[in-house]
Structures are given as C-alpha cells and as structure tokens.
Amino acid sequence: MNKKYFIILIVALVLEVIVFNITSYCNLFGKYAKRTYNSDGLAKKQSNLENNYNGNLQLKYYGEDEERIFIQVPKINEKTVSVKLELKDIEDVVEYQVYFEDETSTEYQSLVSKKYIPSYEKSKYMPLYLSGKTESLIIVLNKDLYENVDKVIINENIPFEFNFIRFTLVFGILTFIYSLKNAKIFNKEYSVKDLNQEIILISIIAVLFALLAWINNFSTNVTEANFYSHDFVEALSKGQFHLLKEPTEKFLNLENKYDAFARGSTGIQRDVDYMWDTAYYNGKQYVYFGILPALISFLPFFLITKKYLEIPIVVFIFSMLIFVLFKEILLKILNMFFEKIPFKFVVYFLIIICSGSSILYANGMARVYELVIVAAVYFSLQGIFFILKSFENEKNKYLNIFWGSLFLSLSVACRPTALLVSLIIVPYLIYLLIENIKQLKTNKKPLIKLTISVGIPYITVGIALMIYNYIRFGNIFEFGAKYQITINNMLALSNRLATIPMGIITNFFSIPNFIPDFPFITNHNKLINFYGYYYIENMIGGLFIIAPICFLNFFIIKINKKIENKKLKIIINSLTIIGLLLAIVSIAMAGSSQRYLIDYSWMLILSGILIFMWLYSYFKSEEAKKILNYFLAIITIYMFLVGLSSGILSEKSYMERHSPEEYYKTKYMICFWE
C-alpha cells in the first residue's frame, strides 16, 4: 500500500477509535459510583417522592401533563457522567428526555431529547456533562410506556462501538479527496480512451445509485397517492380514462366542487367522497398527471401479474437512468467543445449535476408528483442524448434525430410543460433545414429525411395527446390541471403573472435553513409579502443557492461577446434561456415547491458547467486557473452535502417517519457526540 494511503488508513482508525467513540471514555477519568434503579416503584404513583424513596424509580405527574410520565431518580448526590434507560417489550423507536438538578440550580433543567432504538445499544445511553454532584434526574417518556420501563443505570460505561460502515466511509472519503489532489489519473487530461478514468466515473455513478436506493427504500410509503398506480391502472386495464370510483352524491350536490372551503365546511371527506388531487369534469374523476409512466410500466406490470407496481420503484428506475444520461450527455458536450479538460473537473461536474438536480430529493418522497417529473426529465434527456449522437455519425444522423424527437415529444406525455425542452434542439433543426434547402436541387433526400424524422414523432404523439385530452375534457389542449380538486379553485385562480417576481426570488434565491442537527437542513415556507394567493410547499432552498454553479449564468451576456464557437454559444444560451422560461412557466402555473426545480435545474446547472469550462479555457493565468479549481472543488462538496441532506429530509421527513430506526442509527453514526 502507498505510504500516503496507509497514513490515511491510520487517520481513519484514530478518528473511529478515539474521536467517534469519545462518549465511551467519559467514565475513564475519574471514579464514579454506578447505581442501578429497578422499576418496582412504578407500580404506584407516589405523590411525595422524597418521603417514599426506597431505592426504586418513582413516578410523578408534574402539572397537568397527561401525555407523558415523569420518572424521577432522586437522592443521587454523586457526580453523574452517564445515564442508561432500559425499556422492555418494545419494538419501535421512542423518544425520551432527561431533566437534571445539579449544583448550579435547585430547579430542574432540561437536556436535548434522544431516541431510544431497541436494536441499537448506544441509543439507550446519554452522556451527561453536569456541574458538581447531581441531586436527582427525571426521565420523561410518553405515558403509554409506563409499563415498559425496566431500569435506569447511573454511571455505567457507555459501550465502545467500532462502526465499520462509518470507518469505511471516512477512509473512502479521505482517500478520494487525497487522490483528487495528488493522484496522477485525476490530474491528467480526460480521454474517452482511458479505461481507468471510465471505471472511476462508473464507480461514482454506482455510489450515487447506492445513495438513491438507500434514500428511496427507507423513505417509501406505498399507501400514499396510490390513485395513479392503483385506481388509474385499473381504469386503463378496462379501457377507460376516468377512474372507476365515482364521487358520492354528497360531493356531486355541491354548488362549487372546486372550492376547498365549501367541501370542508359541508363535511365532505377527502378520499372518501372524492379523490384528492384528481381532475373532476362532468361527473367523472380523471388523473391529470401524465399518462405515459402508467402505460409503459404500471399497466403492463398489472396486466401480467395482477399486482400493483409501486411508485417509488419506478421513480428509482427513472432516477438511475437520469444519472447515466447526465454522465453521457455531459461527456459528449465537453468532448465536443473543449480539448484539454482535467479529469478531476469531469468528476466534479458529474457530482455537481447529479447532486444539484434534486433527483435525490425526489427519491426521499417518491409519490406520483415526483414520478411524472423525473419521468419527463428522463425522456427529455434521452431525446437530447440522441440529438447529440446525430452530431457524431452522418450515416445514422436522421435515425438519431428521429429517436431524439420521439423521446422529447414523449416527455410531454409525462409533464406538459416539458414541451419547452424541445426548444433546445430548434436552432440545430433550423441549421439542418437551411443546409438541406441549399442542396435541394441536387439532393432532396436529406430534407425529406429531416421532415420525417422530426415530423412523425411530434405529430403522432401530439395527435395522440390531443385525442386523449378531447375524450376527457372536450378540449384538445386541456390536460386537466384547471379541473384539479385541490387546495384552491384552479378554475377561478387569476393574477398569476403578478406572482412571477416573487416566485423567481423563492425558487432561485431563497436561503436554506441550515441547523446544527441531523440532517443539518430544514424546510421552510418563507415568501416575501404578497397580497394574493401563491402556492408554496416546503422549500429546501432556491436553485442558485443550493447549486451555486448556476450563478455563472449571470455572465452569459458578457461571454456571448467573447465566445468564438457559435455552436457552444447556442447551446449555452439555449440551456439558460429555456431553463429560465420553464421556471417562469412553472411559477405562473403552479407556484413554489422543491420538486418543481427538478424540471429545469439540470439545464441551468449544465449551462453553468459549460460557462465555467469556457472561463477555465479562456484564462491563461495559472493563478486564475488555481482559483477556479478551488472554487469548483468547494461547490462540489457543498452541493453534494446539500443534495444528500435534502434527500434524507425530503418534503415531509419521510425517512424519519417511515424508517425511524434507520434514520436515527444514521444520525447517531454521524452525530457521534450524542
């Protein structure tokens, strides 16, 4: 083993054995009396703890709190460095909190609460950093746990734990960081022929796959919003577009069925009298979300197995495909316009676009809302991939344009606003059209091929969607969004243009709430003052703040004057302008939600990457290049950490709610001081 890597191994070992197990050594530097308190006294609710103390735990209700039990450990009169709670006959994660009375105060003071994980021994211990002798402790639990308390132990040694996963992660991260700076392979130019470089890129994708799988699996709630994967699929299997379940008479008798207040005030129940977030039209309920994911995955699975394919699985598959396409598209564009690219930059760019795209976030709460967005992004990227391939091979140029046009048009069947992504290829198609017209007299075939390869996919998919819309809503251009049964009356909602400035500030520049506790970031619903209706739901942060590379798009006007390569200029401008346009449309039509950023974040990130790479090529000073190098490394780390944290947090803390054991084991693995 290389000497440097051996040193890294030793550092990782020292961190694991000493630093990450620091609480295990709290009993080593002094003699502390260990005491065990059994639960016999819990059978009675003592009213006077001091007079009736018999060495057992005593229970008392303080004030009028009837939801919690307060278990007192009185008359300790010893220096206390740890407390252990033992519960019996429980399987779920539960919360407990400790109050203490030491030499600083005669009143009880509270400590931060902790989670008790039955299968994780260290979670049962709390290290204490109190002043002088401890007079008494109180442990607070939910009242339902009254019979589950077994014992409390004072000053027992907190067990040492060598966490192999944590050790491996730390060693891997330190090795990766060191290699990026010192290993030859990362500091030489990128080459498509270098197999070792390709293996590294594939390994990064594999790590991202593992993170996707971990977040998706432990955040899954298959019972939510299953009208798409269950009810809609059943309807399609019977050859109809409206849902089989019909709204009740109570709902149908409402004068204004789109008024959420009217529904609530008349006792009409969501998902009982009607199905939430469906489109109601002429007595029927429809799914306004794109039909394509249902047709290509959920319906075939149901027809073959007679079972339902769950949404998180499909979101995960689309997400993996997106990461693969990010890699392929990124490499194609970089190779097309830049000759000398440090390989470490390619690594940074891949991590940046995958982390900043909010795909990890989508897997943290994989529902129908996230499904149609990631599906639309996949089909858009797959289309762009084929368009880029048409640059490479003249023989198969129009076949690749056909496939590119087909996938781009199909993205509209997932999410209608994805039609705007097709504008990215318009300059290229116009260029081909002009070139084909010039040679029309000598060769008509290229123009015919271009017309067919673009026209057939868009016309066929367009006509199919128009028929689909007309059958449901009597309008070929109506996808059903305005007929939503949701929190607001979308039919009557107006003044949407007035919301655009506020939406831009929120979606692009809202500041994340960073906190010193796992997962180190929180959601917020903060808006500037606006005297009207605007939808916002649990934002992590604005795109430019969570993906700072997007700030480089502000240089687009200046660099337009200096970029000599017209194709590069067109691609950068197309990505920036269409990304901004899609953001504005999303704001005007929907509002602000972190998942909406997925529609266009990849475009603005990709344009930022290309601008960065052009700046790096433009500057000749080694000092300037060094600054850009550090800038890129820092934002890569930042974007990866924010992307991972946002996936763990998600919109509604799904991992914490549905997999608390995994969530809190992860927390205590990272927050070793607890």
Q: Is residue 165 part of a domain?
A: no
DSSP state of 109: E
Query: Is residue 117 within 8 Å of residue 665, measured between CB atoms?
Result: yes
* Residue 439 pLDDT greater than 70, yes or no: yes
Q: Is residue 598 part of a domain?
A: yes
Q: Is the pTM of this model over 0.85?
A: yes
The three-class DSSP label of residue 55 is coil
Q: Is residue 145 part of a domain?
A: yes
* Residue 580 pLDDT greater than 80, yes or no: yes
Q: Is residue 196 part of a domain?
A: yes
Which residues, in sequence order, are bridge partners of residue 97?
Answer: 140
pLDDT at position 48, please?
39
Residue 216 shares a structural domain with residue 233 = no
Domain stops at, among 451, 486, 521: 486
Residue 375 shares a structural domain with residue 269 = yes
Q: Is residue 174 part of a domain?
A: no
Query: Is residue 155 within 8 Å of residue 35, measured between CB atoms?
Result: yes
Which residues, in sequence order, are bridge partners of residue 79?
Answer: 133
* Residue 254 pLDDT greater than 70, yes or no: yes
CB under 8 Å to 178, separation ≥6 — which residues?
4, 5, 8
CATH number at residue 134: 2.60.120
Convert the pLDDT of each residue in 306-363 to its tens digit.
999 999 999 999 999 999 999 999 999 999 999 889 999 999 999 999 999 999 999 9
Which residues, in sequence order, are bridge partners of residue 36?
Answer: 153
Out of 54-68, 445-459, 571-585, least confident range: 54-68
Residue 477 shares a structural domain with residue 571 = no
pLDDT at position 49, please?
39
* Residue 162 pLDDT greater than 80, yes or no: yes
Which residues, in sequence order, are bridge partners of residue 139?
Answer: 71, 98
Assign 66 a pLDDT band (cuts: 50, 70, 90): low
Domain count, the chain: 3
Residue 481 shares a structural domain with residue 510 = no
Parallel, antiparallel, or unpaired: how do β-strands 133-134 and 78-79 relate? antiparallel
The three-class DSSP label of residue 45 is coil
Parallel, antiparallel, or unpaired: how do β-strands 592-593 and 536-537 relate? parallel
Percent of the chain with pLDDT over 90: 66
pLDDT at position 36, please?
87
Convert the pLDDT of each residue in 176-224 to its tens digit.
999 988 889 998 999 989 999 999 999 999 999 999 999 999 998 755 5
Q: Is residue 322 part of a domain?
A: no
pLDDT at position 264, please?
78
Q: Is residue 173 part of a domain?
A: no
Residue 276 shares a structural domain with residue 406 = yes
pLDDT at position 65, please?
56
Highest mean pLDDT among 63-67, 403-407, 496-500, 503-507: 403-407
* Residue 54 pLDDT greater than 60, yes or no: no
Mean pLDDT of the chain: 90
Alpha helices in 492-621 (DSSP H): 500-509, 543-546, 556-560, 566-589, 598-618
Give the residue from 543, 572, 579, 546 showing the smallest Cα distance to 558: 572
For residue 153, the surrounding DSSP H or E stretch is: strand 149-154
Q: Is residue 137 part of a domain?
A: yes
Residue 300 shares a structural domain with residue 429 = yes
Residue 211 shares a structural domain with residue 284 = no
Task: Return d(Cα 345, Cα 331) in angstroms, integer.
Answer: 11
Domain stops at, among 154, 170, 203: 154
Domain stops at, among 486, 510, 528: 486
Measured CA to CA in angstroms, residue 159 lies from 29, 121, 123, 151 at distances of: 16, 8, 10, 17
Residue 447 shares a structural domain with residue 507 = no
Range of the domain at 422: 227-309+367-486
pLDDT at position 59, please?
47
